[in-house]
């Protein structure tokens, strides 16, 4: 049809779209969107949202005819030069379908001198309600809560319209800040034109006149009362009739003198194992004294001076430690000695030992006597190094004075470290 632009719309996949070219401020050419992979339900409501390069928007009702949606363009809709984005919303009861973005390239109109703005009953109604909230804040500085409540009611009203399907944009309250008494009320949008987040600044009311002095409070009213006091100069018991500040001063002195002990338990046994949690009852001094006995009962030569007796014991322990050290060294050497058997080996065969050596060691073979052998063999030693776990048989036939490559031998092996 003449005087309209047609575009196919696919909502099940985001196909490459042919941009719509439009001249700034034009409203004589409508845009028809034909839905190809979606059946528009009966009694549906269609809306078009246009986002301009500046972030301003147009949100208007569109017309549904069959399976097509017609957008009646307005001068405001394409009032900004550049890349504009357009989306179609189709709402049926509580279900909402939003199309993929259709790009629109707006070209310059030399005769267009209008200013770009938002266009929608939604924006006009919302701004009107915001202005009402600001007006209430300006005229009720002694009741900032009333202004904030009016702003919240305005937002709630718009939010309810969104739930009823009047538009798909969202509106929410961001921050509500109390300003100075003389400052004007203000509101700004930190969101987008489609999803607005409004932040309010509401002036604080002037300070009122001082009220009459109330009756003295009961002692129960001290729960949240701050107490100012000075620490007492000396320890003193609490007395009936002391003021609250005097009581706290006396208590503070006790805490200061006792130090960390004031915050620890008292132990009356000598078996507590938790460090830093208890102090020892003085009675345990007697328990310790009774358990110590007398110095004359010591078996050391020093029986008068406890320090001398302990030093004598330490000297004996040091000598004993030296003996134990030597024993440990010898035991360590013995731990590295290995022994085992070998069967049916010839010269050059490998003998696997029980574990790798940890220090340089010598391997010795002791042949087992066998009366059936026609010869005796002489076995030479072999050196193993740290990590070795096997060594070859070195067997020399005494009769033939050659290596024993044909005689099968059996016997024992011993591995001894060099420093043994």
pLDDT digits (tens, 9 = 90+) for 208-224: 788 888 777 666 666 67
pLDDT at 390: 92
Angle between helical axes of 121-139 and 144-163 (0-180°, round to 10): 170
Count: domains in the chain: 5
62 lies in some domain: yes
pLDDT at 5: 94
Residues 92 and 186 reside in one and the same domain:
no
pLDDT at 372: 47
CA distance 88 to 117: 20
Compute φ and ψ for 367, nearest 5 degrees: -70, 145
For 283, left (φ over 0), alpha (ψ -120 to 50), or beta?
A: alpha
| Cα→Cα distances 162→75, 119, 396, Å | 26, 17, 106
Helical spans, DSSP H, in 86-139:
121-139
The whole domain housing 28 covers 4-107
349 lies in some domain: yes
213 lies in some domain: no
CA atoms within 13 A on the CB side of 148: 18
Domain boundary pick from 334, 358, 390: 334
pLDDT in tens, 106-140: 999 998 888 887 776 455 555 566 666 566 655 65
Count how many residues are written for the chain.
Answer: 420
Residues 281 and 307 reside in one and the same domain:
no
Residues 134 and 77 reside in one and the same domain:
no
Residues 102 and 46 reside in one and the same domain:
yes
Q: Which residue from 222, 244, 221, 246 is spatially nearest to 236, judged by alpha carbons?
A: 246
pLDDT at 105: 96
398 lies in some domain: yes
302 lies in some domain: yes
**104: DSSP letter:** E
22 lies in some domain: yes
pLDDT at 375: 46
Q: Which residue from 223, 178, 232 is spatially nearest to 205, judged by alpha carbons?
A: 178
Residues 29 and 98 reside in one and the same domain:
yes
Contacts of 340 (CB under 8 A, 6+ apart): 353, 354, 412, 413
- Residues of the chain with pLDDT below 70 are 1, 120-155, 157-170, 193-194, 217-223, 289, 291-297, 302-304, 306, 324, 327-333, 369-380, 397-402, 404-407, 419-420
Residues 346 and 374 reside in one and the same domain:
yes
Domain CATH for 47 = 2.60.40.3350
Domain boundary pick from 334, 359, 394: 334
135 lies in some domain: yes
Domain boundary pick from 85, 107, 129: 107
Residues 357 and 267 reside in one and the same domain:
no
Residues 8 and 93 reside in one and the same domain:
yes
Q: Counting beta carbons within 10 angstroms of the beta carbon of residue 225, is it exposed (0 to 12), middle (13 to 18) or buried (19 or more)? A: exposed
Residues 274 and 309 reside in one and the same domain:
no
Number of Cβ within a 10 Å radius of residue 169: 23
Name the one residue in this structure whose structure tokens are 């909502």: 11
* Report field, pTM of the whole predicted structure over 0.75: no
**258: DSSP letter:** H
Residues 90 and 16 reside in one and the same domain:
yes
Domain CATH for 358 = 2.60.40
| Cα→Cα distances 77→73, 115, 119, Å | 6, 11, 8
CA distance 403 to 123: 110
Residues 143 and 199 reside in one and the same domain:
yes
Residues 323 and 351 reside in one and the same domain:
no
- For the chain, the distance separating the N- and C-terminal CA atoms, rounded to the nearest angstrom, is 111
218 lies in some domain: no
């Amino acid at each position: 049809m003449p005087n309209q632009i047609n575009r196919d719309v696919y909502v099940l996949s985001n196909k490459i779209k042919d941009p719509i070219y439009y001249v700034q401020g034009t409203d004589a050419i409508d845009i028809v969107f034909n839905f190809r992979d979606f059946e528009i339900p009966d009694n549906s409501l269609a809306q078009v949202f246009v986002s301009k390069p500046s972030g301003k928007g147009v949100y208007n009702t569109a017309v549904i005819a069959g399976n097509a949606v017609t957008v009646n363009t307005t001068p405001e809709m394409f009032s900004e030069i550049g890349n504009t984005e357009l989306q179609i919303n189709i709402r049926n009861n509580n279900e909402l379908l939003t199309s993929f973005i259709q790009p629109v390239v707006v070209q310059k109109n030399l005769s267009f001198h209008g200013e770009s703005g938002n266009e929608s009953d939604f924006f006009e109604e919302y701004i009107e309600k915001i202005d009402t909230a600001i007006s209430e804040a300006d005229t009720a500085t002694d009741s900032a809560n009333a202004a904030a409540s009016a702003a919240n009611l305005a937002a709630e009203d718009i939010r309810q319209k969104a739930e009823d399907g009047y538009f798909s944009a969202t509106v929410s309250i961001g921050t509500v800040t109390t300003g100075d008494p003389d400052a004007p009320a203000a509101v700004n949008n930190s969101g987008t034109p489609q999803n607005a987040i409004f932040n309010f600044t509401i002036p604080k009311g002037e300070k009122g006149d001082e009220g009459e002095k109330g009756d003295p409070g009961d002692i129960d009213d001290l729960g949240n009362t701050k107490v100012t006091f000075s620490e007492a100069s000396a320890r003193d018991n609490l007395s009936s009739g002391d003021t609250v500040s005097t009581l706290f001063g006396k208590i503070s002195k006790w805490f200061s003198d006792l130090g960390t002990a004031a915050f620890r338990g008292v132990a009356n046994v000598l078996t507590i194992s938790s460090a830093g949690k208890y102090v020892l009852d003085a009675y345990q001094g007697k328990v310790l004294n009774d358990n110590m006995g007398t110095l004359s009962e010591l078996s050391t030569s020093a029986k008068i001076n406890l320090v001398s007796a302990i030093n004598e014991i330490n000297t004996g322990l040091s000598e004993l430690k030296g003996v134990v050290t030597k024993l440990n060294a010898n035991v360590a050497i013995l731990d590295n000695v290995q022994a085992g058997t070998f069967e049916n080996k010839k010269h050059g065969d490998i003998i696997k030992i029980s574990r790798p050596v940890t220090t340089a060691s010598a391997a010795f073979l002791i042949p087992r006597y066998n009366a059936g052998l026609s010869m005796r063999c002489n076995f030479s030693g072999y050196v193993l190094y740290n990590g070795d776990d096997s060594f070859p048989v070195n067997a020399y036939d005494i009769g033939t004075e050659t290596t024993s490559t044909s005689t099968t031998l059996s016997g024992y092996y011993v591995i001894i470290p060099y420093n043994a």
